[in-house]
Chain A
Amino acid sequence: MAAGERFSATLLANAGGGSWLSASAPTASGKTFLVLQWLIDQLSAGDTRVAVYLAPTRVLVSEIETTLQGLLGKTKRIEVSSLPLRDKYEAARAGGAQVILVSTQERLHLLANVLGDAFSIDLLIVDEAHKIEDSQRGVILQDAVERASRANSKLKVVFISPATQNPEALLTDAPDGVQTVAVDSDAPTVLRNLIVANQTPRKPKLWNLTVRQQGSTLPVGTLQLASTPAGLRKRLAFIAAAAGQRGGTLVYTNGAGESEDVADLVSQLLPQPGSIDPELAQLADLARKGVRPNFRLAPLVERGVAFHFGNMPSTRHRGASRDWPPKWTRAA
């Protein structure tokens, strides 16, 4: 059996019992999809009335809710809600439609406060569980897990985390007598090439590219720039724009201000589009109306370039990430 198959088989084999399980695998390995399928199977089997899927951000809550609704299709037996509604909880407990509540840890506390002693969930899934170590919201997350565990000693818990070296650490708070299982996978799911660009001596428009591997380097070729870049930001922008002319290029920078500057530079290196894509025009309009008329993101978006950094409101975060990569030629 190949390693990827072993991870799926072990996860599914162990998730079924009355245990606490912590699964770790790299991003894009399909672990979330696997757990969502398993979650639906658990509810379809009938024992689970109320399941909670905890996700750390509203963006992720929205994504998971949409994915679950897509997987469930038109079935009326299982409801999915991202709102901590007492009615849906009580209907599920009374024998009505089973419910999957997709929520942040803060909203789960709100639901528990409303329900008081009646609060009891059967199955808890904690996505991005490594964030339990965050200094502030991590405490709230840990308290939510402990609160759910105190309310129902038979609670099943599944922690999901990306490429965690010690997934078993999340299981230390399991009640006495509960079986705990850690499932770990280090299988790569995407190819990553670390390419180093060095200027050809005395030829500032030509840059030699080498792929760095474990203990060796492999020459790839020479990149031709349209003009000579001066300074680190321009070099980054010019190389990114030249190497990724077909689009779908993501540039990481140090800080918000630098990301705006690099995005601006990249946009200047692109040909002026004949017309603005209607969806990009809508997003630019949202940026102008939602933030301020001269928000720097708006004109860049119209040219297919975006910058993106932490604490961005979820509406624009969704807009910037939803269509990636077809609509975005560059991002910084």
Chain B
Amino acid sequence: MSLVGLQSWLLQEGIRDDLDAIIRLTVRTELDNLVPEPAAPSAVAIDWPRLLLAGSILARSDQRIDQEAALRIATAAISLTDDQALKDAGAVLLGKLSNYRAITLANDRHLLTAGLDRTARCGAAP
């Protein structure tokens, strides 16, 4: 399968359910006065490592729809999860999208732990 074919499959089928779940979750977290829904999806049920891997593949695409999906995944990993490694991976994905303003904003809102670029958290020596 070509890279373009893989990106298209990921968006249409491979991660479609998880992508819809994070859209619902991120929108719900931004709105107030929503009636509680016990059946609403949970961030815990999402396969984040798989989703982030898909995001890194989609980030290489020239298609706006693919890049938007990658941006959604990165934003959701930072804002919806409590795991530092997942948040860091989201920030790295934002970097791949050259969206440094979003990284700065996440730092300002204390969604990321400072010093990602100066530490060995990503496997690189300081």
Contacts and interface: CB of A to CB of B under 8 A. Distances in A.
Interface of A: 1-5, 7-8, 28-30, 186-191, 193, 195, 206, 209, 211, 213-214, 218-225, 242-246
B28 A3 contact: no
A211 B35 contact: no
B61 A3 contact: yes
B71 interface: yes
A220 B101 CA distance: 27
Nearest 5 A-B pairs (CB), nearest first? A4-B98, A245-B32, A222-B35, A221-B34, A2-B96
24 contacts: A2-B59, A3-B59, A3-B62, A3-B67, A4-B67, A5-B98, A30-B100, A187-B98, A189-B102, A191-B26, A191-B71, A191-B75, A193-B23, A209-B27, A213-B23, A220-B24, A220-B27, A221-B28, A221-B35, A223-B33, A223-B35, A224-B33, A243-B33, A244-B32
Interface in B46-78: 59-62, 64-65, 67-68, 71-72, 75
Contact of B31 (A186, A187, A213, A223): A223
A193 B68 CA distance: 11
Q: How many B residues are at the interface, by size bracket?
A: 20 to 34
A52 B27 CA distance: 43
Nearest to B58: A2
A8 B27 contact: no
A222 B32 CA distance: 10
B42 interface: no
B33 A225 contact: yes
Contact of A193 (B27, B34, B35, B59): B27
Nearest to A246: B32
A237 to B, nearest CB: 14
Contacts of A28: 101
A155 to B, nearest CB: 29
Nearest to A186: B64
B43 interface: no
A191 B68 contact: yes
Contact of B97 (A2, A221, A224): A2
Contacts of B28: 220-221
B37 interface: yes
A8 B20 contact: no
B40 interface: yes
Contacts of B67: 3-4, 187-188
Contact of A211 (B27, B32, B34, B71): B27
B99 interface: yes
Nearest to B60: A2
B32 A243 contact: yes
B35 A206 contact: yes
B10 to A, nearest CB: 15
A219 B34 CA distance: 12
A29 B71 CA distance: 13
A186 B71 CA distance: 13
Given A2-B59, A191-B71, A243 B99 contact: no
